[in-house]
Amino acid sequence: MSPRAADFPADSPIGESLSLCSRGEDCAILFAKNPVPGQVKTRLSPHLTPEQACRLHCASTSDVAELLSHALPQARKWIFWSERPPVEKDKGGEVRVPAEFRCGVQEGGNLGERMGAAFARAFASGARGVVLFGSDSPTLPAATVQRAFAALSDCDLVLGPTEDGGYYLIGCRRFDEQLFRKVEWSTRRTYEQTVANAQRLDYRVRALESWFDLDQWGDVERLIADARRGHSLPAHMAAFLKQLETEGAPARPC
**Distances from the Cα of 180 to the Cα of 73, 171, 176, angstroms:** 29, 13, 8
The per-residue pLDDT for 100 is: 94
The per-residue pLDDT for 7 is: 43
The per-residue pLDDT for 165 is: 95
Phi-psi region of 3 (alpha: psi -120 to 50; beta: other; left: phi over 0): beta
Within a domain: 1: no
Cβ-count burial 18-50 (b if 16+ within 10 Å, e if not):
eebbeeebbbbbbbbbbbbbebbbeebeebbbb
The per-residue pLDDT for 78 is: 96
The per-residue pLDDT for 88 is: 47
Within a domain: 32: yes
Within a domain: 79: yes
Within a domain: 7: no
The per-residue pLDDT for 6 is: 37
Q: What CATH number should be reported for the domain holding residue 168?
A: 3.90.550.10
Within a domain: 250: no
User: What's the rounded Cα separation, in Å, for the pair 181 and 163?
Assistant: 22
Looking at residue 26, its amino acid is D
Query: Taking Cα atoms as reference points, which of 106, 86, 94 lies closest to residue 60?
Result: 94
Within a domain: 218: yes
Within a domain: 6: no
Segments forming the whole domain that contains residue 135 = 21-243
Within a domain: 13: no
The DSSP bridge pattern shows strands 26-32 and 76-81 to be parallel
The count of domains in the chain is 1
The mean pLDDT values, 10 residues at a time, for the chain of 254 residues are 43 58 95 95 95 96 98 96 68 82 94 97 96 97 98 97 96 97 96 98 98 94 90 94 81 40
